[in-house]
Copies of this chain bind each other. A is one copy, B any other.
Amino acid sequence: MKQISGSQSIVFQNAPYIVSAASVVGAKETQGPLGKLFDICAEDNLFGAQTWEEAESTMQKEACILAIGKARVRAEEIRYLYGGDLLRQGIATSMGVEALQIPMFGLYGACSTSGEALALSAMSAAAGYGKYMLAVTSSHFGSAEKEFRFPLGYASQRPLSAHWTVTGSGAFLVKAAEEPDAAGGGAETLSASEKPAAEPDEGDAATSQMSHVRIAGVTVGKIVDYGLKDSQNMGACMAPAAMDTIVRNFLDMGRTEEDYDRIITGDLGYVGQSILFDLVRGQGYDIRKKHLDCGMTIFDRETQDTHAGGSGCGCAAVTLASFILPKVESGEWKRVLFVPTGALMSTVSYNEGASVPGIAHGIVLEHR
């Protein structure tokens, strides 16, 4: 049913597909280079809510509902939801997805959470645990500044190595491959609520549903700690983890940078990217011609004053939903290594002098 090719990676023999994705963003993201590609853009960042946290939950809920709607699936048909965010006790996710009433696994992988959620969704779908899985993450500039730094009202200054947390949520519907399990097994009795949804009209399918993006494999990251302690320089803290996961993916799958059309990190930003290039070169690879970073893609460096680039769970998620997946769906990119990166810290660990280790999960997206 699947082949395990190395110590951290899985290659799915019957790879599941991402059949729909949705992106919900705030005002600043709307003004950025990807602005026209997002599904829902807020005029302010409150989404009709009273607090930043409630606004973030609203984004998650809207992203989930939209992703489900695009695929013409009902929430009851989704077996499990995998979701997380940056806030303490993952409260944006708990409050955001509650109304969907999908059995759920709460995750925390800092800004790598979109990779973690997609990996687990793909693993569950490929294993035959259900036809549909939903992966969702979010971040919000207002709630993240309050959580990790200072409330916005303090108007505190930030160094040039700091990132700008993206206000956004991305949701992804993962569907098990329809061909019978290669092994012939996987007996599955569907309950009454799981009858397949009506086939979509061909007419609007192209604009909303996808049928060519498969999650071919995953490389699950380890915690990588180079001892850095500067929470205002997340790019440097996360670059070693990105390197570790990218190189591990190459080794596990017998590949090099030549086998990918793009290698796309989550939110290393300008500082982290240059460190990543150096670290990867030290391992004998050169990914400079293949590399993109969502944090550098989502904002315009010259005009948007976002310093080292965008960050947050939402950064990689909405860039994947709006910018990366359409290119894989169209076949412009045949194979992409998507590597969201997370910095593992809290205000408590920072104040107690702990280092800021990183983690990164690799998702292999293929056009088929």
Contact B184 A105 (CB under 8 A): no
Interface presence of A198 (CB below 8 A): no
- B127-A95 in contact (CB<8A): no
Contacts of A214-254 to chain B: CB distance below 8 A: 220-223, 225
CA of A190 to CA of B4, assembled, Å: 7
Given A97-B223, A105-B120, A184-B184 in contact, is the A91-B348 Cβ separation under 8 Å?
yes
Are A345 and B7 neighbours in the complex by a CB distance under 8 Å? no
Give chain A interface residues in 1-24, CB to chain B under 8 Å. Answer: 1-8, 10, 13
Tell me, yes or no, whether A269 is within 8 Å of chain B by CB: no
A143 to chain B, nearest CB (A): 8
Question: A366 near B: Cβ within 8 Å?
Answer: no
Point out the residues of chain B lying under 8 angstroms from A312, CB to CB: none
- A119: chain B residues within 8 A (beta carbon): 105
* Contact B188 A4, beta carbon cutoff 8 Å: yes
- What residue in chain B is nearest A193 (Cβ atoms)? B7
Interface residues of A in 98-126 (CB under 8 A from B): 98, 101-110, 116, 119-120, 123-124, 126
Interface extent on A, as a size class? 35 or more
Tell me how far the C-beta of A347 lies from the nearest C-beta in chain B, rounded to whole angstroms. 7
What's the least CB distance linking A366 to chain B, in Å? 19
Residue in B88, B103, B110, B221 whose beta carbon sits within 8 Å of that of A103 in the complex: B221
Chain B, residue nearest A80 (CB): B220
Query: When each residue 309-353 of chain A gets 1 if its CB lies under 8 Å from chain B and 0 otherwise, what string results?
Result: 000000000000000000000000000000000001111110010
Find out whether the CB atom of A220 lies under 8 angstroms from the CB atom of B128: no
Q: A90-B108, A220-B103, A348-B91 are in contact. Are A191 and B7 (CB under 8 A)?
A: yes
When chains A and B are docked, how far (Å) is the Cα of A52 from the Cα of B348? 11
Specify which of B129, B185, B221 is in contact with A181 (CB 8 Å cutoff). Answer: B185
Contact A105-B3, Cβ < 8 Å, known A345-B89, A357-B94: no
**A348:B108 contact, CB within 8 angstroms:** no
Determine whether A182 belongs to the interface, using a CB cutoff of 8 Å to chain B: yes
A222 touches B89 (CB 8 A): no
Q: How far is the CB of A124 from chain B (nearest CB, A)?
A: 7
Chain B residues positioned under 8 Å from A197 (CB to CB):
none
24 interchain pairs (CB within 8 A)?
Answer: A1-B1, A1-B128, A1-B183, A1-B185, A1-B186, A2-B129, A10-B129, A53-B348, A53-B349, A53-B352, A54-B352, A88-B348, A89-B345, A91-B349, A95-B349, A101-B222, A104-B223, A105-B109, A105-B220, A106-B116, A123-B124, A123-B129, A146-B348, A181-B183
